[in-house]
């Protein structure tokens, strides 16, 4: 029995299409992110003061991600980024149960209540944390500095793994967090519809490819099946 390229291609399209349809159904039913954290693994309250880091943009912070964007020396017009983590990821949160200690996850995964602190500058020499960053080999001014950080006094909702390590971090009051979550949740339907259309198209393409001469039709014909 000879496998034709149409058979292999058709089967591949059918497999990919069915996988995409299953993924689309999962998004439509459950959304694109985990539910908001709940007790007993939720830590909700106000970040307490601690060792503060002077920030190149915005107020001093406990822990955060600093990014510097500019143009590449070797290719004008091509954006390039430098980034670094600063501060202590272990923070204290004043909750209704008392003060709890949590180790924050990567700032890039946080859900923020506001845009990151930003500033534009032609030199990094006088900015905290960045005065010793050597950009001469990579970046050209102007520089765009972005800071995603946790600061004392901010309200947070944190989902933990039960051992004090954060899995989800949301900033803002409860109403703001829930509103943002519902907005993202409602956005899942257009995404699911697009994926479903893509999956259906892939399956149709696989079926049509398999119907070509030498494809699935010939393969499944009794006379082409091996004996025994």
- Quickly state the pLDDT bin for 176 (edges 50, 70, 90): confident
* Averaged pLDDT score across all residues of the chain: 84
Is the pLDDT at 1 greater than 50, yes or no? Answer: no
User: Under a CB-based contact definition with an 8 Å cutoff, are residues 185 and 31 in contact?
Assistant: yes
Task: Tell me the average pLDDT across 145-174.
Answer: 95
What's the rounded Cα separation, in Å, for the pair 43 and 91? 12
Comparing 220 with 115, the larger pLDDT belongs to 115
Query: Is the CB of residue 183 less than 8 Å from the CB of residue 190?
Result: no
Average pLDDT, integer, range 183-202: 80
pTM more than 0.85: no
Q: What's the CA gap between 106 and 73, in Å, rounded?
A: 29
Asked whether the predicted pLDDT for residue 102 surpasses 60, the reply is: yes
Distance from C-alpha of 45 to C-alpha of 91, rounded to nearest angstrom: 12
* pLDDT for residue 2: 46
Q: Is the pLDDT of residue 81 over 50?
A: yes
Give me the mean pLDDT over the 164-182 stretch.
Answer: 90
pLDDT for residue 31 is more than 60: yes
Q: Are 144 and 68 in contact (CB under 8 A)?
A: yes
pLDDT of residue 111: 94
- Cβ contact 18:207 at 8 Å: no
Structural domain boundaries in the chain: 5-32+188-224, 42-186
55 Cα distance to chain centroid: 24
Greater pLDDT, 27 or 81 = 81
């Amino acid at each position: 029995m000879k496998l034709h390229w149409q058979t292999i291609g058709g089967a591949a399209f059918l497999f990919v299409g069915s996988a995409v349809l299953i993924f689309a159904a999962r998004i439509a039913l459950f959304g694109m992110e985990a539910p908001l954290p709940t007790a007993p693994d939720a830590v909700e309250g106000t970040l307490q003061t601690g060792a503060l880091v002077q920030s190149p943009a915005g107020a001093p912070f406990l822990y955060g991600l600093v990014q510097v964007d500019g143009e590449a020396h070797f290719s004008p017009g091509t954006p390039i980024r430098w980034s670094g983590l600063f501060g202590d990821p272990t923070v204290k949160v004043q909750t209704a149960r008392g003060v709890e200690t949590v180790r924050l996850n990567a700032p890039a995964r946080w859900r923020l209540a506001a845009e990151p602190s930003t500033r534009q500058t032609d030199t990094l020499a006088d900015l905290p944390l960045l005065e010793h960053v050597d950009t001469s080999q990579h970046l050209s001014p102007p520089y765009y500095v972005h800071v995603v950080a946790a600061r004392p006094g901010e309200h947070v909702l944190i989902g933990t793994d039960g051992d004090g390590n954060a899995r989800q971090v949301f900033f803002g009051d409860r109403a703001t967090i829930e509103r943002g979550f519902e907005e993202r949740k409602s956005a899942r339907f257009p995404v699911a519809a697009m994926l479903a259309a893509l999956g259906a198209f892939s399956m149709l393409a696989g079926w049509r490819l398999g119907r070509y001469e030498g494809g699935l039709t010939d393969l499944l014909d009794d006379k082409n099946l091996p004996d025994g």
